Structure 1
């Protein structure tokens, strides 16, 4: 009997649930009369939006806005007032609008959010060229239609093959406000049988097209396939892709050096590049597909670096008159050439594939045989506007902390003037100061191939431009000003306008020339125009680096232009309107070219303040050093970093890590270019610099500032219980997360006599500062001027005044006469290891520390659907619920093998059926499924579960 009852119950649930869904779907299809019929996500030249009020495009008949076409398939007009349409990020409600029977309506996805005088509808969003979901809803929120589309090229539309039909196609000739029935589709790209990447064995590549009346053409030399071209082949059979070992060098034998050049030592490794296009009988062509293949028995382990394949017509690089690689003195947009790039991880996984523009990058280093290349992602080359991939793992923006994975510009750098030395010197210096208040360029070494031929190690780097600052600071790229100081002291505007250069000159340079910076008011003013902390870090870094090509060169500064042009201290970092300096082109530092080992002892501090040959270059720093607050901050900052991130072993570890990353690639790279004479010796010189440089910098500080009482150094030891609080010394938080702080519980550093030192004890949540040991001072903040070694300990104690009592009531959503039906519900504070259980009245209480960021509370019980409650601020006692309005929990989220799936669904019913019609005397009986506690698992318990069937924790209100 039990089996029969279980079967009937299960069948009834499945049948009723299935019929309900089927009836809903049938009704929606039958009633549908409005369709999203066609859309365009990149309208470049198809149709203007007719907005004559557009301030930029009105006189031309409006802008080329994205658009969505609706189609009314019914025999009656439809009033759209109150309907809504949305993309992945925004929803727009129709204030008006009418579609006639069998008619069309264009909605402009222009982000203008308005209705024009002639009734044109403009949404509050634009369409993504990468694809998204568009949803049309009735005023009461019922979905009328939704369309999901993928990436679209410029002036391509995505629409139903027939008006209101089920099939969608990409149209090469869009039909806004017209029937789709006779629209012309694009020619689809040819399909490759094998993915681009690494292979250990040769294979036969097949090319195919799903469309009739098309032919496929391909090339193997990087040129674009064109029927009739002698380099183009008509596809007629499988293409053998094999190892190219034994084939002669071609491109790598071209002399590309302006200063000197040597041919490769022997044969360079080669891959095969295939470019293919489908051509229809009417002459229409598809997009070109490019794939690179590398075949070698050891290919999967051949490289320990990412592999980048650049494919382009040979003439774009190596034509004597127009090739950028052989005309290194040329620059600018006129010397940009089209190319295709593929990024492979070291195991052959394809990261991204992209058509782009390429230019040469750099100054004097463009004369080397191997040159730096700048890559431009642009809609003119590819329907994807950005290189979208996690190229630099761990790279995050400075405002939101989100990963930066979209790039409009990239540099494949030849290591600049370090090309014939270490191949990672600039990347090293950027890396170990990247955590400071400085802008640096992310670094990742790679191996590059051009048209299949090995081209050596290139360092993937970010490029400084308005897009860089927009992505790193979450701001509008149009409001970025970026200036560069030339070798002759003049300002060049890289981003922004000449007015920005005038503003910098007047607000900072001219102000300092005509005002006494030792006066407090003047110094406070200058701090509103430039980020002084950033400028100090900038000086400290370059001086420690012994950067020989600075400050008379490689100086750039940027700012975000606020709406009113004023300083806004309340704004997020980088958005306050002040000028900031950036680290760039440090190749001559760290015992680099020119100075070599002499850089270890070089007095760069004196060079940066007393260089009479380039007085314009030292003026700003020299002038600010006249102010005692700035001077002391600079000296202390240098000491802060010498004690932490400039610590020799830390830098040596970074050197070794970066060396190990490219070590296996250096022999092949050097065989290709023959530029590095002693790579191991060069790396050892950098290690020596890291060991010895700090002592010389200390001497340079004392020599420079002895007239201000800076005569020697002293040692300071700071101790504390880091579980209760930490100590801040000047700009350094003595925490394990701070770079260079290895033992925060007992830390030792060296500082300069004659310079005031600021130390602050900072408690963790739930603690307060109690006292110092080692001094009679009682304040949590000390300003010291030690003349001898110092030993201090900060002591913290529990803060009883910050405890908050959290109370509430919990009840199950069921009927029961059991006295303990409300007991043993668990309330826990996530990430705090604090919890409590309810009593027989459902009451609970627990204590948590005060918090400005709040807590997440979780309420749970075995086989119940858990719920979470968020309180953003907890600064006092708080009730999560009351006896009259308790927190309700739903029974039925059955645990299987100790785990629940966060939903009440059919799997829970199945588990209930397994123990159905049992009592405590039965072996199958499970007390945790006897929800009403009547000592039997029966239909009442099943109905309790069914009451909230097909729900998740998100359904709680």
Structure 2
């Protein structure tokens, strides 16, 4: 088969496997999730779009119809109003998430992601149950679309010039098969020889990070990679009308290893961007590969890069942002839990900072300040949003580029949507960096903030009602934490720079009050330029310094701060929050230990950083880190005194506060939680403010404050407020938890009418469980069934008082226990008849009625049938069985044993029923060995059980209308059906079935190699095939050969294929794959076929 024929077959088959073409009036005609910069919607945005085409001569209104990207949720978006598809014309739906129809512009409530591999497009009618048309989304290259070859046609094509709203013209075949590398990316200890293959295509490649095209180097043989390089390759088909393939790329690290994760970035102009001015406005496209510290590839993709940083761009090692672009067709996010302290595991946007203005050695920094402060804030759970951090190594176009901070982007709607359910259409996000602008929310964001600011500044905040209004709109705790960390770190670059604050507007989301984010924190701890103009940049900086600033940035943060300090509740919260932090995360020892933990991570990599960029020595860097430690130690050892004098003279102290938990319970003091596990916790707090205590859990008893007679408080209320006058010890007393014991009561033997009175509760159903407080006294008084005698009590653990042989007793509930009341049946002469049965007219079987006796043999009794007396019977059998063929009601008339006359009871009913008539049909009534399955259809009503025997020594089937596969051989088979109706009557019938001989082959269309023991491997079944002629190949969607075998036994079900790549051995992703099979049957006929296999994970 030549390349053109192969491509034709693969294209047609993939279309058949992927797209479902409904026989309907309206069809999905074209779509694009690769609309990066080609086609704008009515908002000027480049959104995903779907074109819907009306094949008829009459207009169709989609009002009430549904559109979805998930088969599991067909009613995801409903057309909310009239939306007409004109006859023989088309309409567009933008997948923007806006959820609206405005004129001729429809916007769904979802977006499309073409590289996830699990999305489709589903158009359903107004019932939401009938799918009119559907398809599975297949990735396109940037700017391309997929559509029907012509409007409404059955076949689908690639369009490199999409036609949204127009006629489908310019259709192309599927993309050329992408190249395959012989080696995986990662660490190699020596130069490697790399082979590249593609199905009869021309391959072009680069090794300098540039994107290859047909002007790049033509591949003619293995490539020697002698140093770290990024190899990229693309295929061009020799067949006309076939677009170039997707690009494949790998980074090979030769004799280079690291102790932290690695990002390999590359692209035709990425190095231009990072060379600085005049290229700082470039936003080049490029690839990214994310490796762990062991050189194992975690994920990769393509997207775009842009400048990150300002002053730091004066250095040769520059920061940048990366945005993964699903529209490019490779990936939609870096999929990994990059940051250990965050649950998020998908990142479209990332920040790479070379420590910014704390860079070593361009700015004589410690290469850690910004990351340290953000990470410390995150660890302390400050009420802000921080850029999560890990350290990494960056390679640019295969060249080592140094130690970087890998950071989570905070000022991004993906961040707010993931953590707080506030998407980009429900944000007000303001940022000040020299000037202020609205990142999200437009002019309304600034207007709303100004309105709030004006309220604070024009109304007295000492008025608690005004303050409550402020708290309803503003996270005052976030303001306190934002000022605390900037004040404590002596930040010199905030308020007029590097300040961001936002709120969510979705009422169903979180964070609906204005709150702050941390931005660049490298101008801290005495380092870099005092852009804000704070009065003192030394460790002795006054805590009141922020209040002395006028209004840097002109957004009112300082005026709001000063206004809120006039409110006693806010002032108390601020001072106590400071003490919380000073006692924990801002403690000298903790801060230094935490700093050193981060330094230890980058320390092994700093010699490489210094060797790359120069400007200093490893000893110079260590000294810079020590200077940072010294500043922190000086700052945290003196700052407490500054709060009292001269900053807030109304304060006193600080005083030692010790909290003791007596018992089991939990108390929150300000922001510190103390329970029985850290009882005796001690910290320092100021007098002059109210220090709050609150019981959070446990059975509270009372407070005790030492020294006594110094504070006025209600010891029995679970909240406590103290204005400290000196050192104090607060003890929270908790009542020991009540312990309960379950007691299970039983009566032996079971089934009697005996009851037990347990502390006044009558127990008459057994077993019965009663719960008591530990140590309770339980009084037991039984009432014994008249047919029984009391025998004795029995307990597993408890002591029965006075003894077990007394009827009325007591015990203490000190254990989980079972108490048994034993009784003995009184001797009584009794007889009982029972055991009703059924008779069937067509069966020669006796019904059975039994008679039970209590007494001494022999037993003599007389019974009646429908009131007619039967002959007397004497027997020693107990029970005695009456075998009968007579229907009626059976009762006992009299009974006596060897000692005298007894009592009779019970009755039995024997019923006579008409039998069913068994009959069935077979479809088809003649089978071939190629299709040896028959459907057996029973034609009998009111049947309870079916027993099918298929005449081939297989197990019987109990199904109503079973299917059966005759897998053994050709022949004539007798099928037997035995039916049993609801009355237990039976009938039997027979039929015959002929199985003829033919060759056959069964190939499953899916399997799920998820190792749950169910359908984990792909295997085939066959008959009458010449095994030496067998060939089986599997291709992926881009035509790459991923599995091949000429040995049919490798696909027997005792072996099988587990969905792994034939070369790499890696598990293949979930999706649809094409197979090609060739063989001859025993008669010599050749067979060649194509089909598809679904891998489900």
Provide the secondary structure at the position in 2 that maps to 1:557: strand
5+ residue gaps, structure 1, are 1-28, 73-77, 245-269, 397-402, 563-569, 737-742, 808-817, 821-838, 849-915, 917-939, 941-951, 953-957
User: Cα–Cα, structure 1 residues 843 and 175, in superposed 2: closer, same or farther, change >3 Å?
Assistant: farther
1: distance between equivalents of 2:750 and 2:730? Answer: 59
1: distance between equivalents of 2:231 and 2:730? Answer: 66
- Which residue in 2 is equivalent to 1:682? 624
User: Cα–Cα, structure 1 residues 69 and 663, in superposed 2: closer, same or farther, change >3 Å?
Assistant: farther
1:588 equivalenced with 2:533 (yes/no)? no
- Which residue in 1 is equivalent to 2:307? 360
User: Cα–Cα, structure 1 residues 483 and 746, in superposed 2: closer, same or farther, change >3 Å?
Assistant: same
Choose from 405, 425, 438 the match for 1:493. 438
1: distance between equivalents of 2:450 and 2:523? Answer: 28
2: distance between equivalents of 1:106 and 1:612? Answer: 57
Structure with a larger share of its residues in strand = 2
1:341, CA displacement in angstroms?
1.8
1:215 equivalenced with 2:202 (yes/no)? yes
Provide the secondary structure at the position in 1 that maps to 2:625: helix
- Which residue in 2 is equivalent to 1:377? 324
Mapped contact 1:221–1:273 kept (Cα < 8 A): yes
Larger RCO (CA under 8 A, 6+ residues apart): 1
1:40, CA displacement in angstroms?
2.7
1:555 equivalenced with 2:499 (yes/no)? yes
- Which residue in 2 is equivalent to 1:531? 475
User: Cα–Cα, structure 1 residues 282 and 658, in superposed 2: closer, same or farther, change >3 Å?
Assistant: same
1:326, CA displacement in angstroms?
3.3
2: distance between equivalents of 1:413 and 1:470? Answer: 27
1:278 equivalenced with 2:236 (yes/no)? yes
Provide the secondary structure at the position in 1 that maps to 2:733: strand
- Which residue in 1 is equivalent to 2:511? 574
User: Cα–Cα, structure 1 residues 82 and 530, in superposed 2: closer, same or farther, change >3 Å?
Assistant: closer
Which 10-residue stretch deviates more, 744-753 or 440-449? 744-753
User: Cα–Cα, structure 1 residues 622 and 469, in superposed 2: closer, same or farther, change >3 Å?
Assistant: same
- Which residue in 1 is equivalent to 2:189? 200
- Which residue in 2 is equivalent to 1:606? 544
Choose from 462, 473, 491 the match for 2:408. 462
2: distance between equivalents of 1:492 and 1:79? Answer: 43
User: How do 1:843-922 residues align onto structure 2 when only pairs under 5 Å count?
Assistant: none
1:537, CA displacement in angstroms?
0.7
Mapped contact 1:719–1:747 kept (Cα < 8 A): no
Mapped contact 1:449–1:455 kept (Cα < 8 A): yes
- Which residue in 2 is equivalent to 1:873? none
1: distance between equivalents of 2:718 and 2:538? Answer: 39
User: Cα–Cα, structure 1 residues 326 and 687, in superposed 2: closer, same or farther, change >3 Å?
Assistant: closer
Mapped contact 2:431–2:437 kept (Cα < 8 A): yes
User: How do 1:476-515 residues align onto structure 2 when only pairs under 5 Å count?
Assistant: 476-487=423-434, 491-508=436-453, 510-515=454-459
2: distance between equivalents of 1:215 and 1:192? Answer: 12
Mark the structure with the bigger radius of gyration. 2
1:694, CA displacement in angstroms?
2.4
Mapped contact 2:124–2:131 kept (Cα < 8 A): yes
> Which whole-Å deviations, capped at 9, do the CAs of 1:384-411 have from their partners, x for residues lacking one?
4444443323324xxxxxx252333533
> Which whole-Å deviations, capped at 9, do the CAs of 1:205-232 have from their partners, x for residues lacking one?
222323x5x422122222332434xxx2
Choose from 701, 708, 713 the match for 2:650. 708
Mapped contact 1:493–1:501 kept (Cα < 8 A): yes
Provide the secondary structure at the position in 2 that maps to 1:682: helix
- Which residue in 2 is equivalent to 1:294? 252
- Which residue in 2 is equivalent to 1:830? none
5+ residue gaps, structure 2, are 1-18, 531-535, 707-713, 752-763, 774-955, 957-979, 981-1011, 1013-1097
2: distance between equivalents of 1:79 and 1:714? Answer: 75
> Which whole-Å deviations, capped at 9, do the CAs of 1:227-268 have from their partners, x for residues lacking one?
34xxx21112221223x2xxxxxxxxxxxxxxxxxxxxxxxx
1:666, CA displacement in angstroms?
0.4
1:787, CA displacement in angstroms?
1.3
Provide the secondary structure at the position in 2 that maps to 1:707: coil
2: distance between equivalents of 1:317 and 1:168? Answer: 39
1:433, CA displacement in angstroms?
1.1
Choose from 368, 374, 382 the match for 1:424. 368
1:629, CA displacement in angstroms?
2.3
Report the RMSD for the aligned CA atoms in angstroms: 5.1
User: Cα–Cα, structure 1 residues 519 and 554, in superposed 2: closer, same or farther, change >3 Å?
Assistant: same
Choose from 151, 156, 162 the match for 2:139. 151
TM-score (norm 2): 0.56
1:620 equivalenced with 2:608 (yes/no)? no
- Which residue in 2 is equivalent to 1:522? 466
Provide the secondary structure at the position in 1 that maps to 2:287: strand
1:542, CA displacement in angstroms?
1.2
Provide the secondary structure at the position in 2 that maps to 1:433: helix
2: distance between equivalents of 1:70 and 1:425? Answer: 61
User: Cα–Cα, structure 1 residues 418 and 227, in superposed 2: closer, same or farther, change >3 Å?
Assistant: closer
1:410 equivalenced with 2:351 (yes/no)? yes
2: distance between equivalents of 1:777 and 1:356? Answer: 63
1:181, CA displacement in angstroms?
13
1: distance between equivalents of 2:190 and 2:614? Answer: 31
2: distance between equivalents of 1:485 and 1:79? Answer: 48
Mapped contact 1:720–1:726 kept (Cα < 8 A): no
> Which whole-Å deviations, capped at 9, do the CAs of 1:791-844 have from their partners, x for residues lacking one?
22223346779x999x9xxxxxxxxxx999xxxxxxxxxxxxxxxxxx998988
Mapped contact 1:43–1:65 kept (Cα < 8 A): no
Which 10-residue stretch deviates more, 385-394 or 655-664? 385-394
> Which whole-Å deviations, capped at 9, do the CAs of 1:771-797 have from their partners, x for residues lacking one?
224467111100001212222222334
Mapped contact 2:394–2:401 kept (Cα < 8 A): yes
Provide the secondary structure at the position in 2 that maps to 1:359: strand
Mapped contact 2:390–2:405 kept (Cα < 8 A): yes
1:292, CA displacement in angstroms?
3.6
> Which whole-Å deviations, capped at 9, do the CAs of 1:2-26 have from their partners, x for residues lacking one?
xxxxxxxxxxxxxxxxxxxxxxxxx
- Which residue in 1 is equivalent to 2:222? 238
1: distance between equivalents of 2:665 and 2:283? Answer: 56
1:793 equivalenced with 2:782 (yes/no)? no
Mapped contact 1:729–1:757 kept (Cα < 8 A): yes
Choose from 694, 697, 702 the match for 1:771. 702
- Which residue in 2 is equivalent to 1:128? 113
Provide the secondary structure at the position in 1 that maps to 2:543: helix
TM-score (norm 1): 0.63
User: How do 1:291-370 residues align onto structure 2 when only pairs under 5 Å count?
Assistant: 291-297=249-255, 299=256, 302-313=257-268, 317-318=271-272, 325-327=275-277, 334-370=281-317
Mapped contact 2:360–2:621 kept (Cα < 8 A): no
Provide the secondary structure at the position in 2 that maps to 1:91: coil
User: Cα–Cα, structure 1 residues 753 and 418, in superposed 2: closer, same or farther, change >3 Å?
Assistant: farther
> Which whole-Å deviations, capped at 9, do the CAs of 1:890-913 have from their partners, x for residues lacking one?
xxxxxxxxxxxxxxxxxxxxxxxx
2: distance between equivalents of 1:582 and 1:364? Answer: 21
Mapped contact 1:483–1:495 kept (Cα < 8 A): yes
1:91, CA displacement in angstroms?
1.6
User: Cα–Cα, structure 1 residues 411 and 112, in superposed 2: closer, same or farther, change >3 Å?
Assistant: closer
- Which residue in 2 is equivalent to 1:762? 696
2: distance between equivalents of 1:196 and 1:427? Answer: 30
2: distance between equivalents of 1:611 and 1:424? Answer: 28
1: distance between equivalents of 2:106 and 2:529? Answer: 64
Mapped contact 1:466–1:480 kept (Cα < 8 A): no
Structure with a larger share of its residues in helix = 1
Choose from 73, 88, 98 the match for 1:90. 73
- Which residue in 2 is equivalent to 1:739? none
Choose from 630, 641, 653 the match for 1:699. 641
- Which residue in 2 is equivalent to 1:185? 173
1: distance between equivalents of 2:429 and 2:63? Answer: 47
- Which residue in 2 is equivalent to 1:7? none
- Which residue in 1 is equivalent to 2:581? 641
User: Cα–Cα, structure 1 residues 594 and 465, in superposed 2: closer, same or farther, change >3 Å?
Assistant: closer
2: distance between equivalents of 1:486 and 1:113? Answer: 34
Mapped contact 2:656–2:682 kept (Cα < 8 A): no
User: How do 1:101-180 residues align onto structure 2 when only pairs under 5 Å count?
Assistant: 110=95, 126-130=111-115, 131=117, 132-133=119-120, 148-153=136-141, 156=144
